Chains A and B, each alone.
Chain A
């Protein structure tokens, strides 16, 4: 077995896992604060990235487009809270889940209606090419874009952690995540909190959209990346930001190693289900995911 190749697969897998984590983060934020499994996260990624690239292509400056898109995502977050979540307060989780599916259709239709369905290329100024010095010295191909994406993800998690830990809103968010009722009774305005969380999730969606868009182009298929995030979620636990990162790393690495080393033996294409099986095995040991909150049943 070629050791350098093994490490190349491993590192590549870990870095791919970071890309999955970026998407999973958006799910976690919303689940944590409102107990909603937000099926529309993939559509939000698509919507954010498409809005951004369309603005840039219409001549807006990169940073200005970023700010405008962010504003759009905030408006979207507030609108979702007002139109969808508020009327459905206290409904069972599956109803809320279904509502986000309805939201998915609306968002997908809306983004294609406004910006068209043509795919776009997106350049962030960092080429997706292997780093020369590394491939020459060790024979391992690692893309500089992957390193950049990992850095962005790290930064994002750090910012979110600081936001949750040290700001007033962050503390309120954690309180809501802990217990809706208790948070309400100490005077935390639930409505605002939800609007904020959805806006933050919109921001995360934008970042994920930019990273994935720069890699594969901004097109409808961005909505599919949600599927990559699901095994990460159950492995890491729905409520844990850290879980999303660790889960992403485990899923990414094991998926790539399996495809390269086990795949050829069984005819390939096992990536589609392998991640889910890994997650399933973890769940059999820890039913609430790696970092999820322990479920205690009381009769």
Chain B
């Protein structure tokens, strides 16, 4: 008797599960969550993953998904390793009713490895604030989206910020700037743009490399002390950031004159440096803080029910977490846009989402609707422009938290765009790609 009931129960359960799955297949939008939760960069990986997935959860409970299409996802550990990242992508790309919506590789290296695969499989590779800069030219890279701000753009914004601080761009003439960069593809990415700007504004730039992992920088900072630069640009990653701040303190260099990229500007980058980090300025395409309506909604609909991703609740509203929320918003809004054209309440394929991404227009009113005014910048994408924003805010660490000290500062697209196009054209030539004609795209 007992056994039969058990069997029956199992049977019904299985049947329920099966039919449930079959039914749900129509109304689900699958997003791969290949991030990293272990290793040296785990704070970034886990924070961004948490923000993005919490945003999805919030959307699922608050609105029932995107026009009724629930978001689903599967996590995959990449360990920030190229081979693992490619495996995750291949494993997850066919999941869900329509395959992967798009993928955030969250590593410049993995992004590189996925450029061709994504293009063949018609799955957008979205690298928000990292990845290959010249992929912003959507004519050559139809499926690659370095959304919001590329490294080149943010670098011009940094120079603009320095000019503002010095009281005018003409004051940059004769100024000395040191570019302290991580010895990797990521670190070297901005060297050409800095050189071009040095010529334009007449400042002097010295590039100093810190070899990976960057936990010893005495020699570099002694050199900096010799040069006595007006500004130091910090292009660090991981342990290189707190080490740089500490070494700056040892060399007696003022932290207020160090300007970091956003991968050097999270709480996790400054807390290990302790007091040495006070006054340090970093660029960011998103801000920290949990008093934005969108984060409040996450608190209300996800954490109040005990379903949040973050084990450490205090990380909700941190830089990395909020960045994950931005990742989430871009993902869902691209799907929403795609649905407008290809059918409301239907799951979208990667190809359709690409159209959504290219026609995404998130202006101030749109952001207000999302509860993200000031949380992220307005975005306007197009077929040719896969970057869309190009603005950054500057934030200063006061020893306890990041304080926003500037408005959105836009980048110098007049300088950057031709460089991007030239670089993309070279890629197209090497690979034998004929760039799309954007005027024919609909």
Looking at A184-192, A194-202, A221-229, the stretch in contact with chain B turns out to be A221-229
Residues of A within 8 A of B67 (CB): none
Q: Output the least CB separation between A117 and chain B (Å).
A: 4
With an 8 A cutoff between CB atoms, is A116 at the interface? yes
A117 touching B38 by the CB < 8 A rule? yes
Q: Which residue of B lies closest to A19 (CB)?
A: B216
C-alpha spacing A117/B320, complex, angstroms: 14
With an 8 A cutoff between CB atoms, is B10 at the interface? no
A271 and B271 in contact, given A112-B38, A228-B216 (Cβ under 8 angstroms): no
A128 touching B40 by the CB < 8 A rule? no
Residues of A within 8 A of B208 (CB): 268
B38 touching A269 by the CB < 8 A rule? no
C-alpha spacing A143/B249, complex, angstroms: 9
Q: Output the least CB separation between A260 and chain B (Å).
A: 5
A215 and B223 in contact, given A119-B271, A130-B252 (Cβ under 8 angstroms): no
Residues of B within 8 A of A212 (CB): 215
Q: Determine chain B's interface SS by DSSP, over half rule.
A: helix
C-alpha spacing A108/B37, complex, angstroms: 12
With an 8 A cutoff between CB atoms, is A148 at the interface? no
Contact with A along B41-54 (1 / 0, CB 8 A): 01100100000000
Q: Output the least CB separation between A74 and chain B (Å).
A: 27
B215 touching A216 by the CB < 8 A rule? yes
Contact with B along A133-147 (1 / 0, CB 8 A): 001000001010100
C-alpha spacing A6/B46, complex, angstroms: 44
Residues of B within 8 A of A218 (CB): 272
With an 8 A cutoff between CB atoms, is A272 at the interface? yes
B272 touching A219 by the CB < 8 A rule? yes
Q: Determine chain A's interface SS by DSSP, over half rule.
A: helix
Q: Which residue of A lies closest to B238 (CB)?
A: A221
Looking at A9-17, A162-170, A232-240, the stretch in contact with chain B turns out to be A9-17
Residues of A within 8 A of B42 (CB): 112, 117, 220
A118 and B252 in contact, given A216-B272, A221-B40 (Cβ under 8 angstroms): no
Contact with B along A144-160 (1 / 0, CB 8 A): 01000000000000000
Contact with A along B178-221 (1 / 0, CB 8 A): 00000100000000000000000000000111111101101110
Contact with B along A173-212 (1 / 0, CB 8 A): 0000000000000000000000000000000000000001
How many residues does chain B have at the interface if contact means C-beta atoms less than 8 Å apart?
Answer: 43
Q: Which residue of B lies closest to A213 (CB)?
A: B272
With an 8 A cutoff between CB atoms, is A79 at the interface? no
With an 8 A cutoff between CB atoms, is B268 at the interface? yes
A141 touching B312 by the CB < 8 A rule? no
Most buried by A among B216, B276, B311: B216
With an 8 A cutoff between CB atoms, is B250 at the interface? yes
Looking at B239-247, B328-336, B413-421, the stretch in contact with chain A turns out to be B239-247
Q: Which residue of B lies closest to A228 (CB)?
A: B216
In the complex, chain B residues 262-295 whose Cβ is within 8 Å of any chain A Cβ: 268, 271-276
B216 touching A121 by the CB < 8 A rule? no
Q: Which residue of B lies closest to A127 (CB)?
A: B275
With an 8 A cutoff between CB atoms, is A71 at the interface? no
Size bracket of the A interface? 35 or more
A116 and B312 in contact, given A269-B211, A271-B211 (Cβ under 8 angstroms): yes
Residues of B within 8 A of A143 (CB): 250
C-alpha spacing A121/B268, complex, angstroms: 10
C-alpha spacing A259/B222, complex, angstroms: 10
A16 touching B250 by the CB < 8 A rule? no
Q: Output the least CB separation between B193 and chain A (Å).
A: 18
A256 touching B268 by the CB < 8 A rule? no
A128 and B43 in contact, given A116-B311, A117-B37, A268-B208 (Cβ under 8 angstroms): no
A264 and B223 in contact, given A121-B274, A135-B252, A224-B40 (Cβ under 8 angstroms): yes
With an 8 A cutoff between CB atoms, is B167 at the interface? no
Residues of B within 8 A of A221 (CB): 40, 213, 215, 238-239
* Contact pick for B46, options A8, A117, A219, CB 8 Å: A117
A269 touching B210 by the CB < 8 A rule? yes
* Contact pick for A130, options B207, B250, B273, CB 8 Å: B250
B242 touching A217 by the CB < 8 A rule? yes
Residues of A within 8 A of B312 (CB): 116, 118
Q: Output the least CB separation between B1 and chain A (Å).
A: 44
C-alpha spacing A108/B42, complex, angstroms: 12
B246 touching A271 by the CB < 8 A rule? no
Residues of B within 8 A of A119 (CB): 43, 242, 268, 271-272
Residues of A within 8 A of B239 (CB): 216-217, 219, 221, 224
A272 touching B183 by the CB < 8 A rule? yes
Q: Which residue of B lies closest to A143 (CB)?
A: B250
C-alpha spacing A219/B209, complex, angstroms: 22
With an 8 A cutoff between CB atoms, is B39 at the interface? yes
Contact with B along A98-120 (1 / 0, CB 8 A): 00000000001100100011111
Contact with A along B218-262 (1 / 0, CB 8 A): 111011011000000000001100110010011110000000000
* Contact pick for A260, options B37, B222, B311, CB 8 Å: B222
Residues of A within 8 A of B212 (CB): 272
With an 8 A cutoff between CB atoms, is A255 at the interface? yes
* Contact pick for A217, options B207, B251, B252, B273, CB 8 Å: B273
9 closest residue pairs by CB, A with B: A217-B272, A221-B239, A269-B209, A259-B219, A272-B211, A117-B42, A268-B209, A121-B274, A220-B40
Add 11 more A-B contacts to A117-B43, A121-B271, A272-B212 (CB < 8 A): A16-B216, A112-B42, A116-B312, A118-B312, A128-B246, A141-B225, A145-B250, A217-B272, A260-B219, A268-B207, A269-B183
User: Could you write out 7 A-B pairs with CB less than 8 Å apart?
Assistant: A118-B43, A119-B268, A129-B252, A135-B252, A216-B272, A219-B268, A267-B209
